[in-house]
Amino acid sequence: MNATFRKHWTSLLGVLLILTAFVTLFKYSIDQGWITDPMKIGLGLLCGAGLCVGGLALALHKRQTVTGEIIIGLGTSLLYATFSFAGIYYELWSSGSVFIGMIGITASLTAYAYRFDSRLLMNISFAGGLLSPLLMQPATDQVFALFLYLLVLNAAFFFLSIAKGWSELRIAPFFGSWLLYVVYFFHFDPPTEGLWSLPLRYALAAFVFYIAGFMISSWKNNRCFDGWNLYLSLANGMLFGFWAMLILDGDLHYGYVLAFLGVIYGIVGVLTYRFTGKIGLASAVPMLAGLMLLLIAATHLGSGMETKPIVSVFLWGGIAVLLAWGARRYPGGLLLNVGAVGIWLIVGIYWYIVTWDTPRGEWFGTYIPFLNSGAAAWMLLSALGFYFSLNRVVPFGNDKTQELLSQIFALFAHLIVGGLLTLQIENAFEEYAPDSAEMSLSLTLSVVWGVYALLLFLWGAYRRQMTFRWFGSAVLLFVAFKAIFLDLSGEQVLYKVLVLLILGGMSFLATWINGKWRTENQPAAESENLRNDVFDRHS
């Protein structure tokens, strides 16, 4: 390709100059009113098609192949200019007509280039296709037609770039399309109010297209994810991030844009690792970039919003989940586990402090207990705690030390469950029974905490840990004291009697759990004692 380009770059320049002259003549004829618009379109289609047919006839002769392809490139450039004039410069054609015409010309061009390996033809045609809308800057907004125009061009050129390994056919469309975005943004000065304005949609569409295109290109190129694909993927994120923050300024904090990019590049890094099976530059760079963006965004997300604590819990909890997942997937992930546990502890303490004054985070316009953002935050933190406890993710010291750490993690997770139950019941009374006596809430909490004590007993039985038997006993004693000495004042006698009966039943159930626990563990304990006795006799 380099030798061909050095030999024929003047031909490419000549095509661009002729096309520029053609476009300039088009615009000048409009100002002078020499010929009608349908005549201009007909002349453009006739000249473009004639050049394509003549060039094809020459290209089929081996000695005239290059000359024929240059003429075909000039013809397709004139056709692209005609489509730009009819559908973008003036709304003489509908967006659908432009789309169908572009598909027909570009598909024919792509088929020829694929069949005859005509790299020069594709470069000439792309230069003409990009230059036409760049020179024709209309007075009216026909951006959707331009979007379809660029979509067809990019899809065809990316296809050939991947199929033939012609890297310039994905590099040039990438920079050319973003250049057109810049030119048209400042030319039209479109409205950017709101979170879902048209400029943002077009920028997002370009970002997603190129992210997917570079990933597919890397996959097809023997799973080679570094080089130009990596650099252009990062440049794509920087360009989209800049325009998204510019467009959303005043409507959405830039931290959300950074968080979105962080998630996308984290996914790209993980997929790259899955495809390549190793941690290399191509997978590490997107993952580290995504993590850095998330950490930067974390300090800003939710700023100025009452729900910022909930947003922070989900964000940092999600980071802890990713770190724990990474430690589980990759050997030697101790530092990742330590980081995950540290984040979980800090966020858990933070949430316990701020949750009481944080909005409930209703999902459906009304409060539903345990189906709201606040409850989901509690559940995320408790699930992490139980995971850390069950998997002993921090293998420090001997078995006793690890067992102690496991119990501490589980204890903290149970405290989070207790906070979840308490806050959800309080919010339910506030929403559905605001006029009920405070004593009703107090008695209901006694029952809920009694259930919580049973859960502690069950966890202790499941894990065979005395700590939770003691903790459950302490909670049950506290609930009994509260029910007998604090909840008996005032009226609502029947309700209090019912609560006391329920708590009494829970106490008997706790006794049964303890008895069953001892029965199941007794044979093991007796065997251990027997071994100790035998050892003492022999010694």
CA distance 179 to 186: 11
Give the domain range for residue 382. 323-435
Which of 131, 147, 173 terminates a domain? The answer is 173
My answer on whether 246 and 155 are in the same domain is: no
- Confidence at residue 203, expressed as pLDDT on a 0 to 100 scale: 92
Is it the case that residue 113 has pLDDT exceeding 80? yes
More confident residue, 506 or 46: 46
- Confidence at residue 529, expressed as pLDDT on a 0 to 100 scale: 45
**Helix boundaries (H) for 330-372:** 334-354
Contacts of 412 (CB under 8 A, 6+ apart): 345, 348, 385
My answer on whether 91 and 220 are in the same domain is: no
Percent of the chain with pLDDT strictly greater than 90: 6
Does the residue 311 lie in any domain? no
Mean pLDDT along residues 400-411: 81
108-117, 250-259, 445-454, 511-520: least confidently modelled range: 511-520
My answer on whether 82 and 216 are in the same domain is: no
CA distances, 164 to each of 5, 227, 265 (Å):
17, 17, 27
Q: Select from 490, 499, 487, 502 the least CA-distant residue to 442.
A: 487
My answer on whether 112 and 71 are in the same domain is: yes
Is it the case that residue 93 has pLDDT exceeding 70? yes
Q: Select from 51, 153, 45 the least CA-distant residue to 92.
A: 45
More confident residue, 473 or 377: 377
Contacts of 127 (CB under 8 A, 6+ apart): 12, 15, 16, 77, 172
| pLDDT tens string 299-323 | 776 666 777 888 888 888 988 898 8
Mean pLDDT along residues 176-198: 83
State pTM to two decimals: 0.57
Percent of the chain with pLDDT strictly greater than 70: 76
Q: Is the Cβ–Cβ distance between 439 and 497 less than 8 Å?
A: no
> pLDDT band at residue 538, thresholds of 50, 70 and 90?
very low
Does the residue 137 lie in any domain? yes
My answer on whether 419 and 472 are in the same domain is: no
Other C-beta atoms lying within 10 Å of the C-beta of residue 369: 15
My answer on whether 20 and 48 are in the same domain is: yes
My answer on whether 96 and 226 are in the same domain is: no
Is it the case that residue 381 has pLDDT exceeding 90? yes
Which of 435, 457, 473 terminates a domain? The answer is 435
> pLDDT band at residue 244, thresholds of 50, 70 and 90?
very high
Query: At which residue do the structure tokens 């379109």 appear?
Result: 41
My answer on whether 213 and 283 are in the same domain is: yes
How much is the mean pLDDT over the chain? 77
- Confidence at residue 531, expressed as pLDDT on a 0 to 100 scale: 46
My answer on whether 297 and 348 are in the same domain is: no
Which of 148, 173, 198 terminates a domain? The answer is 173
Is it the case that residue 528 has pLDDT exceeding 50? no
Does the residue 294 lie in any domain? yes
Does the residue 525 lie in any domain? no
My answer on whether 121 and 210 are in the same domain is: no
Mean pLDDT along residues 363-380: 84
My answer on whether 501 and 396 are in the same domain is: no
My answer on whether 346 and 293 are in the same domain is: no
CA distance 340 to 322: 8
| pLDDT tens string 256-305 | 888 899 999 988 888 888 887 777 777 888 888 888 888 788 777 666 67
Is it the case that residue 534 has pLDDT exceeding 50? no
242-251, 437-446, 474-483: least confidently modelled range: 437-446
Does the residue 33 lie in any domain? yes
The domain total for the chain is 4
Is it the case that residue 539 has pLDDT exceeding 60? no
> pLDDT band at residue 207, thresholds of 50, 70 and 90?
very high
- Confidence at residue 7, expressed as pLDDT on a 0 to 100 scale: 54
Does the residue 535 lie in any domain? no
